[in-house]
Chains A and B, each alone.
Chain A
Amino acid sequence: MSEQPEERRLIRRLRNWVRSTAASKYLHSSDSGTKHSVFSGGFRSALKSDIVTSLPWRSVFARPYPQTPKDNSEIAITSFWIHLHPASIRKETLKFSVTYGLGGLACGLFMVLAATGIMEMFYYVPATDHAYKDMVDLQHVVSLGKILRNMHRWAAHAMVIIVALHMLRVFLQKAYKAPRQLNWVIGVILLCLTMMLSFTGYLLPWDQLAFWAITVGTNMAGSIPLIGPKVRYVLLGGPNVDQATLIRFFVLHVVVLPMVISLFMVFHFWRVRKDGFSGGK
């Protein structure tokens, strides 16, 4: 049975309309009534509705784009990234002078450090006869390598400063008081881990600055009564700062400490979410 062209066009429009009403529910389009009427479907809107109502799309974006205040709260439950935040916060804690954004900035700096650090690892070989040459190459041969190294270095210094300031801020606002005691302790651990990350990274360029800073630093550990020399030996992997030290510090810097600090960071954020934003109270 062959259909007349007129009938076929009508059926197509009808099908588009059915699709787009399904989509409009999903899209929360305010003007869905006019946009997706039987006589104004059009190819683009049909394609759009086909995509956003498809199973793969909806498996990624479980909910439509938030439009109403209720959606804004619900997205804290349904979106992985947003759920790190509480659904709602006290309005006064939004003020910049409450936190100065220090904790968030420390987290941001960590992300920048992870990204630039991974890129540096493409060029860096942790061997005493290689490391320094790789640094010089990174400065002068690799495109934008100098900027990459500068960013990693300055972000590392900034992170130590910002984390320390964050701790000062929390102390002065008494934000460590009940129920946030545990999160203060985790914060102190995070400060120590930040300094350890910075310290282990200090050796990797294998220049005079790196070599002697680590020598001075590990000599202090060597002064512990009785076990000092053994502790120093374990840290250095030998009696002196050498190849064994470089690979130890490299593994600590790029694998062990980032993993540990990430776990503590996640725990820190989770506690913030559970305890609520102190907002200086």
Chain B
Amino acid sequence: MNPGSSGNAQKDKEYGLLGFIEGHPGNIPDTDVERISSYPHLVAREFLAFGLMLATLLVVSFLFDAPLEELANASKTPNPAKAPWYFLSLQEMLHYAPPFISGVFIPGLLVMVMCTIPYWRGRMSLMPIMFLLSAILLPLLDGIVWAGIHAVAPGFADATRSLGFPTFIMLIISAFGIGKLLLNPYFDDEARVEVLRKRLFLVFVGIVFVLVMIGQFFRGPEWRWVWPWQ
């Protein structure tokens, strides 16, 4: 990016300081990268990709029929009643934590934290990813921790059950834990932060994927565990 170091800035030209700021409109572009006009090179590839996608879609549509069950009937509840597959990770969490936590609080938090990802810098960029991870893992522990609270203060535990307090408490504790972890000098190195951030995000995506798969293929009546061949 640095025109001085790349040695490609023109010698007989003067450059302002703004030219060195990445993303600034006055930034001096690298002159050593080979550029190519998007028409027809990119446009042709887009058309090709679109054509291939359309062809694949047509073949799939001829081979597999979209499901259509019997007419909707409010008095006949199917067991289990499943949400669309992309919401099955939430429905799976619904099995462990109260609906407010798994259906509203956690998804809202996931979206908001997801939006902040680009705005963290250095070691702090691990923060949102760790938060995503704990937000999807902690509701799975909610029931166990709630049982613990119930053993100590049954009245309080019962009265606040629908709010899913254990998840809140665990999120706060894990936030402190994450903060402590981030102070570790191990993360002084940006490259280590980078590697860990990628891995943690992949773990997060993996957990969501596994939850969706469990909800789709391994859950039967009363949301009991069922093997696909049963």
Contact = CB atoms under 8 A, between A and B. Distances in A.
Interface of A: 66, 69, 72-73, 75-76, 79, 82, 85-92, 94, 101, 104-105, 108-109, 112, 128, 132, 135-136, 139, 146-147, 149-155, 157-158, 160, 168, 171-172, 174, 176-181, 184-185, 188, 192, 195, 198-199, 202, 205-213, 215-217, 219-225, 228, 240-241, 275
Contact of A91 (B36, B58, B104): B36
A216 B82 contact: yes
Given A178-B23, A184-B118, A195-B86, A76 B104 contact: no
Contacts of A69: 37
Contact of B33 (A90, A178, A207, A210): A90
Interface in B63-97: 64-74, 76-78, 81-87, 90-91, 94
A208 B36 contact: no
Given A94-B45, A154-B60, A184-B118, A199 B87 contact: yes
Nearest to B116: A185
Interface of B: 22-23, 33-43, 45-46, 49-50, 53-54, 57-58, 60-62, 64-74, 76-78, 81-87, 90-91, 94, 98-100, 102-104, 111, 114-115, 117-119, 162-163, 194, 198, 201-202, 205
A89 B46 CA distance: 14
Nearest to A79: B39
A76 B115 contact: no
A132 B72 contact: yes
Contacts of A92: 33-34
Contacts of B98: 223
Nearest to A72: B37
B82 A213 contact: yes
Contacts of B61: 147, 150-151, 154
Nearest to A104: B46
Nearest to A132: B71
Contacts of B202: 172
A208 B74 CA distance: 9
A245 to B, nearest CB: 11
Contacts of A210: 72
A176 B118 contact: yes
A72 B40 contact: yes
B163 A225 contact: yes
Given A73-B39, A108-B50, A208-B69, 18 more contacts: A92-B33, A104-B46, A105-B50, A150-B64, A151-B57, A153-B66, A160-B86, A171-B198, A171-B201, A172-B202, A176-B118, A192-B111, A206-B72, A207-B69, A207-B71, A220-B90, A223-B98, A225-B162
